[in-house]
Amino acid sequence: MTLMHDAPRTAIRAERLTAHLGAELFDVDLAAVAHDDELFAQLRGLLTEHKVLFVRDQPISRADHVALARRFGELEDHPVASSDPDHPGLVQIYKDLDSPAEHYENAFHCDATWRECPPFGSILRCVEGPAVGGDTIWVDMVAAYNALPADVRTRIEGLTARHSIEASFGAAMPAEKRAGLHALYPDAEHPVVRTHPDTGEKILFVNAFATHLTNFHTPDNVRFGYDYAPGASELLNYLVRQASVPEFQVRWRWTPNSFAIWDNRCTQHYAVQDYWPAVRRMERAGIVGDRPY
């Protein structure tokens, strides 16, 4: 594959934004990266290192947005949000003044863990945003796992959790439609601690889509019924709350044609909904991932 743009190759410059995760990129044209092996290899390496990448002033086409995401893998639609009709997999997250009130994005979550194979990652673009507000927060779940007390890390090793679209997106639907959504996307079960396939790092892998621990009720964990209910749910809630620790976070203020590229396997994010009555329109290309282990 050859370079499709006239600009010469240069090393992509990355400036770290926090001690744990996040870097802003400079000297980069994402349209060029979408069509050049060497530039893409640089980008992929920086993503592995920093977990989430940010870049401003990228007025690229939707076709190049999709082409860049497809360098990582195939794209996936969302069963609730619509996609651009000319670019399947480019999900439109449009919040207008007449948009229905909903609160799915403003919870710390890892995208689509209700799938058996949650996304590898996403590339998100700000098409239009408020003058202030509407930031997004990302969280390093490797750092969150490493900071857990040693006895908690021992206790959760080998545990699995159930993740549900029915209990999240489906909960606001009429019963029949909710049941239909569950039939199409049955609850998925994932390890509470997953391993990053590229780095081998341990990741705390529970979030707002996790409903309960599925293999907690064993003789080692349960002496009395209270150890399981509410004991197991209290443990899960404690683990989910780790994403809210500021020391593990980076916060990004959007501007038009700014992008975020993140590794969904080892991060969570939270879209701050503090901008009404302004408009916020985002377009996201989500990349198919593998089964967590």
Q: Which amino acids are annotated catalytic? A: 109, 111, 269, 284
Secondary structure of residue 128 in the 3-state scheme = strand
Cα–Cα distance for residue pair 201/20, rounded to 1 Å: 14
- How many residues would you count in the chain? 293
Distances (CA, A) of 249 to 45, 105, 139, 177, 194: 21, 16, 4, 36, 20
Secondary structure of residue 39 in the 3-state scheme = helix
The two structure tokens encoding residue 106:
């403003």
Please choose, from the candidates 292, 270, 267, the residue with its C-alpha nearest in 3D space to the C-alpha of residue 141: 267
Tell me the Cα Rg of the chain: 20
Distances (CA, A) of 126 to 135, 199, 213: 11, 30, 36
Distances (CA, A) of 121 to 50, 111, 113, 220, 266: 13, 8, 12, 36, 9
Secondary structure of residue 51 in the 3-state scheme = coil
Cα–Cα distance for residue pair 44/41, rounded to 1 Å: 5
Phi-psi region of 255 (alpha: psi -120 to 50; beta: other; left: phi over 0): beta
Query: Residue 103: how many CB atoms within 10 A of its CB?
Result: 9
The two structure tokens encoding residue 114:
């209700």
